[in-house]
């Protein structure tokens, strides 16, 4: 849906570069070391034993007052009621009735203050745990998680972002961790582009090309091996394995009743794909739901948007629980900021980073917890104020990753998270 109510910033446009576009001309592989892990039994075992993370990004800025921290009956509350959840004493907005029934599996952080109302800077903060600076660039949480949980066993990318019109390209979001941990942008419901062997190339020809390419590569690396050539080898090998396992991305392989449960719209398909990917050993999946930048008609648009969000999200949580994946899967619902308590003249809410909320649950998180609070009308944090850096530490610790560690990258030590901050201890199980 085209959102005429949004602020129109450039951050709402996704720049894409082709990752697999050149693969159609050649289907062989440089090396064959990942093939074993494409076997169903091995992949299934790896998936069951590994930690993983799903981020649902509510792009544009979800209103905390119409979701996780309603204030009915106040001058800022708006028209919607607060409803009880499966956690006694915890209420959320009536726009999330199915999610309310799943709250005993989830937790809320209601005291976030990032002091930021810019789309680009807010997104950067929430995904890197740092403030944007011209002096340095930091990897997003997906790259950090993919790198930290990489055991060298999975043949699929460890960092995948799913959004409408995702092309299969690589993003530039891994900073100093290198291209191996950059995200692959995918659409939902069908395999990545260029993952089928061209019709005019036989299997025998493809195998012969692969063998020749491997011989040439091995000879080259004897004298000229560099970080760049290693990155090329890894990317080529991963692309080959994507071709071998393209059915992992194909939602037509899911039973029709499961596709129906999630819904026929993009967000429903993308949540189902996220479940399918983590089941197959992908470490990190980000799903985007857009657009919550409701400067106009905030209440009508949240009615529509959260009406679409509620069922697929609740279904995803329930499926992860029933399939035994929830204890090892961290799920986070976040935005770049919240919306202003004050309702503007266009019945909208503007950008607001001073007092808002995030929902999370699963691996390493106390179920049913509520940390932090805002005052009566939601204009300020009144209890346990935290920012994006605290959340970043918490995500890593929940996944069993020591957030105070420093990574050795080319002989330099990089703190994995902001060393001035620490995890939200009350959330960690």
At 226 the pLDDT is: 72
Domains and CATH numbers, the chain: 19-427 (3.40.720.10)
pLDDT tens, position by position, 375-392 = 999 999 999 999 999 999
Least confident stretch, 67-71, 138-142, 249-253, 364-368: 249-253
Judge whether 319 and 352 are in contact, CB under 8 Å.
no
24 band by pLDDT with thresholds 50, 70 and 90: very low
80 band by pLDDT with thresholds 50, 70 and 90: very high
Name the phi and psi angles at 218, rounded to 5. -60, -40
Q: Residue 330 above 90 pLDDT?
A: yes
16 band by pLDDT with thresholds 50, 70 and 90: very low
Name the phi and psi angles at 266, rounded to 5. -55, -50
Both tokens of residue 94? Answer: 């009536």
Half-sphere exposure in the Cβ direction for 114 (13 Å, CA): 36
| pTM score of the predicted model | 0.84
Q: Residue 366 above 90 pLDDT?
A: yes
Residues 6+ positions from 374 with CB-CB distance below 8 Å: 64, 69, 71, 110, 111, 355, 380, 381, 382
Helices in 293-358 by DSSP H: which ranges?
A: 298-322
- Nearest to 9, CA basis, from 290, 271, 207: 290
Q: Residue 139 above 70 pLDDT?
A: yes
327 band by pLDDT with thresholds 50, 70 and 90: very high
At 213 the pLDDT is: 76
Q: Residue 397 above 50 pLDDT?
A: yes
25 band by pLDDT with thresholds 50, 70 and 90: very low
Residues 6+ positions from 343 with CB-CB distance below 8 Å: 76, 78, 298, 349
Judge whether 60 and 177 are in contact, CB under 8 Å.
no
At 194 the pLDDT is: 63
- The strand ranges marked E within 218-315 are 284-290
């Amino acid at each position: 849906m085209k959102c005429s109510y949004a602020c129109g910033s450039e951050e709402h446009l996704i720049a894409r570069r082709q990752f697999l576009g050149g693969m159609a001309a050649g289907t062989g592989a440089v090396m064959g070391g990942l093939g074993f892990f494409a076997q169903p039994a091995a992949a299934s075992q790896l998936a069951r034993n590994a930690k993983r993370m799903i981020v649902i990004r509510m792009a544009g800025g979800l209103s905390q007052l119409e979701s996780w921290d309603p204030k009915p009956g106040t001058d800022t509350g708006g028209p919607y009621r607060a409803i009880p959840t499966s956690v006694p004493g915890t209420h959320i907005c009536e726009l999330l009735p199915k999610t309310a029934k799943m709250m005993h599996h989830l937790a809320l952080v209601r005291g976030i203050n990032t002091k930021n109302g810019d789309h680009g800077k807010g997104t950067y903060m929430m995904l890197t745990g740092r403030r944007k600076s011209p002096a340095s660039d930091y990897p997003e949480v997906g790259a950090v998680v993919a790198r930290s949980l990489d055991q060298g066993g999975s043949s699929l990318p460890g960092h995948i972002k799913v959004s409408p019109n995702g092309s299969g390209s690589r993003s530039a979001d891994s900073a100093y961790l290198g291209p191996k941990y950059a995200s692959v942008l995918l659409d939902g419901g069908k395999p990545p582009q260029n993952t089928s062997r061209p019709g005019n190339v036989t299997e025998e020809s493809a195998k012969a090309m692969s063998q020749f390419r491997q011989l040439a590569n091995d000879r080259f690396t004897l004298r000229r091996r560099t970080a760049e050539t290693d990155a090329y080898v890894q990317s080529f090998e991963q692309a080959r394995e994507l071709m071998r396992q393209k059915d992992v991305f194909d939602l037509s392989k899911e039973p029709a009743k499961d596709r129906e449960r999630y819904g026929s719209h993009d967000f429903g398909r993308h949540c189902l794909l996220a479940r399918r990917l983590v089941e197959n050993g992908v470490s990190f999946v980000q799903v985007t739901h857009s657009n919550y930048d409701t400067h106009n008609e905030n209440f009508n648009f949240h009615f529509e948007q959260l009406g679409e969000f509620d069922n697929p999200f609740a279904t995803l949580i329930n499926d992860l629980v029933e399939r035994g994946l929830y204890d090892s899967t961290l799920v986070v619902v976040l935005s770049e900021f919240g919306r202003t308590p004050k309702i503007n003249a266009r019945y909208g809410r503007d950008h607001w980073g001073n007092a808002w909320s995030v929902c999370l649950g699963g691996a390493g998180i106390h179920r049913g917890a509520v940390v932090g609070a805002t005052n009566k009308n939601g204009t300020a944090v009144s209890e346990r104020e935290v920012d994006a850096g605290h959340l970043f530490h918490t995500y890593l610790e929940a996944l069993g990753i020591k957030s105070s560690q420093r990574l050795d990258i080319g002989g330099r030590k990089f703190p994995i998270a902001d060393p001035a901050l620490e995890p939200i201890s009350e959330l960690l199980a």
